[in-house]
Structure 1
Amino acid sequence: MRQPLLLLRLSLAVLLSAKVLAQQPVEIQFQTDPVLVQTGSEIVFTVLTVSQVFSMKWQFQGGVTVGQWSSGASAINQGTQFVGRVTISANQLRIAGAQLRDAGDYTVEVTPSGTTDFIVNSKPVQLRVFDAVAGVNLIVPAVAMEGRNVSLRCTWTAGTDITVQWGKGGAAIVTDARITISGGFLVINPARRSDAGDYSCTVSNPVSAQTTTQSVTVYYGPDTPVLTKKSAKECVGGGDVLVGQEVRLTCLSDSLPPALFSWQRDGQTVATGQPDSGVLNLQTLSTDESGRYVCTARNSITGGSSEQGTDLAIVATCLNVGEVVGIVIGCLLLLLILLALVIVLIVFLVRRRRAQRPRDSAVLVQRDYANPRLIPPDPQPNGARDLGQGPPPLSHTPS
């Protein structure tokens, strides 16, 4: 009696254990979640399960049954928007020709193989459908000027859930105090000459992208001109050019497009052989041509202008550096020669004076120490003495 009861208990335990195991939830995984597709392409939902499937049922937006697969056969609901486009297999749902309205949440209900007294397991998956990007175009201003507002616009003819990215010269553009980005618009205010370059806009969504590039030219200037003077002979100590010689005035200004130049002297227009050129060649004829020469630069697109002036002195006498140096060297040489002559003269006088000192000393000694004997006067009237005669006879007076 006890043995049959024991067997009955064992049988019930096995049945209960099998039922509990059968009621364990089935692990459902999707190969891709969410599923992203482009309109017109095929939608594929793939289910990964750890056990064999008895049946698989697909629903759209939680209520509309798309179809079911069971016991190796599929059954498609003909009353949905998917009619004629659906294929169901043991682990896949395929929908051909994706449409924007197909986007949404899909739910799969999986029943594992075994008895029918099983808990149905379900899991949702999201589908996103996009129109591909097409017809991307970048519109840039025909004339962009420094210091003004410059606006670029990126357009497209097709595409949903669009994202726009801006770049310049291959690098992404970052917004700052001057640059504003709003969708398909990029605004630079104020523009700088350094903003010139190749700009690109990339229009994309999760399934497609297109990029287009346009060049932007920023016109600027003219900046304040720089004036230079050049003549055949550079005067030192005043004056720019010797009358009768040619002088060249050159005017340079940074500008885009290149600046056009005009010249004036003391408010009067000066004709030049090269109109609108920054070079003025003057063949001087008189010192009266001296004055203040002004160069005016103008930009034909920006409409801006700028000027710079210089004083030009035409002189009748002009010494260049070489001549001045020659004169200075000549003067120094002359001074050295004069100094040498003075030194020679001084040396000569000193030596002459020293040569005369012994003779003067001898005369003085002779005068100081000579015999003070009186010499009788010469009896001849003219003081001449006959050299052939002897001394005059001594006269004796009677005592």
Structure 2
Amino acid sequence: MKDVRDFHCFSDNENYENTFTFTGSTQGQDLVPPGPIYRAVGEKVLFITITSPQLSHIVTWNFMNKNIVTFNPPATEMVDPEYIGRVSLNKTSGALELSNLIMADSGVYTVTFTSTDSTSPQQGHISLQVFELVSDVALIGPEYILIEHNSAQFTCVGNGTVITTEWMKDNQILAPSTRFIFSADNRTLLINPIRRSDSGEYQCTLSNPVSSNTCNYRMTINYGPNVWIMGTKVVEKDSDVLLLCSSASRPAATVTWTVNGMSAGHSPLYVAESSNLSHSGEYICTAWNNVTGLTASAVHFLTVKGKLSPGAAAGIAAGVIVGVEVLIVILYSLITHFK
């Protein structure tokens, strides 16, 4: 039996919506809008100003106690050597564009409008956070055949700046429990023990405010068999015997009938036409799962009686008819399920 495990991954970096909340520094909001601002490595950012400087104002943008650019009207502009080719100052509005962002550009930027008439300078502060795009996410799961009551471990790996890790199963968020155990960094999930109901599609999403990447893994749990026999316990001589051996098993179990110690076939539905007294006795259905290696049996005792009174015969006949109908419905369901 082939063990079914399937996984696929996808990225949503291009159309990622910012739904994160970070604590950022934003002061002097008369000069700059609220922040923080989130960008990806390699992108550019435009620090806009709400209040434009007066013609006589000196405009300075500072980062980490270093003046990135200073404009002293009417024409003098000084750019720090490290930022040449990366910054552009709008001399009218005071807005600053910083391109080719790197992780080290994260921090608080300060803009200052200084008047030449010695009045107090105006300042605004805004925070920038630069992230590497999340990429190459993989959900590493068990590579062995999974059997109920064992354990399964998943690890979510990827590149880039990972801020959050989210786990889902069949589009429902997974939460910690006595069986679902997450590592401290939330990157590893241990399910112990696994149950048949744990079969399904698992999803891990790594994300930050500017990107996300998701990988899926389909897990199939093998289990069983659990066996039971359905059918009447008393039949009239010359009537047909119909018994159904039903088993809950993945993969489907191999069925063997034993009637009064003798092998009697491998079909889930046991049929004996025109029964006689020799058909009375012990009917055993044994189911074997070739993946789990487990075997289970159920026992059914049948009594074949001689001709009964019309009333008793009618009652048994009615019971047999109902039983046959039930067996047909169940057999159809089983055949449909295991196609």
Distance 1:269 1:56, change over 3 A: farther
- Letter paired with 2:48: T
Contact between 1:39 and 1:129, CA under 8 Å: does it hold in 2?
Answer: yes
Instruction: Specify which of 61, 66, 78 is matched with residue 58 of structure 1.
Output: 61
Q: Tell me how far 1:290 sits from its aligned partner.
A: 4.0
- Tell whether the 8 Å contact from 2:227 to 2:297 is kept in structure 1 after alignment: yes
1:299 equivalent to 2:289? Answer yes
For residues 271 and 121 of structure 1, do their structure 2 counterparts lie closer, same or farther at Cα, with a shift above 3 Å needed?
A: same
The CA distance in 2 between the partners of 1:111 and 1:292, in whole Å, is 102
Tell me, yes or no, if the aligned pair for 1:227 and 1:308 is still in contact at 8 Å: no
Change (3 A) 1:256 1:27: closer
CA distance in 2, matches of 1:252, 1:322: 32
Q: Map of 1:1-399 to 2, 5 A cutoff?
A: 28-49=30-51, 52=54, 54-62=57-65, 64-73=66-75, 75-80=77-82, 82-90=83-91, 91-112=94-115, 114-115=116-117, 117-141=118-142, 143-156=145-158, 158-182=159-183, 183-229=186-232, 234-235=235-236, 241-242=237-238, 246-266=240-260, 268-272=261-265, 275=266, 277-282=267-272, 287-288=277-278, 290-314=280-304, 317-319=306-308, 321-322=310-311
Q: Cα–Cα, structure 1 residues 39 and 188, in superposed 2: closer, same or farther, change >3 Å?
A: same
Going from structure 1 to structure 2, the CA distance change for 1:27 and 1:45 (only over 3 Å counts) comes to closer
The separation in 2 between residues aligned to 1:109 and 1:283, in whole angstroms, is: 100
Q: Residue by residue, what CA displacement relative to the aligned partner does 1:294-321 show, whole Å, maximum 9, x if unpaired?
A: 1111222222222111223455x33375
1:375 maps to none
Q: Is the 8 A contact 2:181 2:190 kept in 1?
A: yes
Tell me the SS of whatever aligns to 1:75: strand
Q: Relative to structure 1, is the Cα distance of residues 313 and 107 closer, same or farther in structure 2, using a 3 angstrom cutoff?
A: same
RMSD: 3.0
Structure 1 pair 325–213 and aligned structure 2 pair: CA distance change class (3 A): closer
Q: CA deviation at 1:262?
A: 1.4
Alpha-carbon spacing, 1:197–1:37, altered in 2? closer, same or farther (3 Å): same
Unaligned regions of 5+ residues in structure 1, if any? 1-25, 236-240, 327-399
Contact 2:169 2:202 in 1 (8 A): yes
1:167, CA displacement in angstroms? Answer: 1.9
> Secondary structure of 1:167's match?
strand
Report the AA paired with residue 49 of structure 2.
V
1:204, distance to aligned residue in structure 2 (A): 1.1
How does the TM-score come out when normalised to structure 2? 0.72
Residues 186-230 of structure 1: CA distance to partner in whole angstroms, max 9, x if unpaired?
222222322222322222101111233333322222123234248
Instruction: Report the alpha carbon displacement of residue 177 of structure 1 after superposing the two structures with TM.
Output: 2.3
How many Å separate the matches in 2 of 1:79 and 1:50? 26
Return the alpha-carbon distance in structure 2 between the equivalents of residues 133 and 74 of structure 1.
41
8 A Cα contact 1:262 1:296, kept in partner: yes
- The share of aligned pairs that are identical, in percent, is 29
* Structure index of larger Rg: 1
Q: Which has more strand, going by share of residues?
A: 2
Aligned equivalents of 1:223, 1:184: Cα separation in 2: 36
If the length of structure 1 is used for normalisation, what is the TM-score? Answer: 0.62
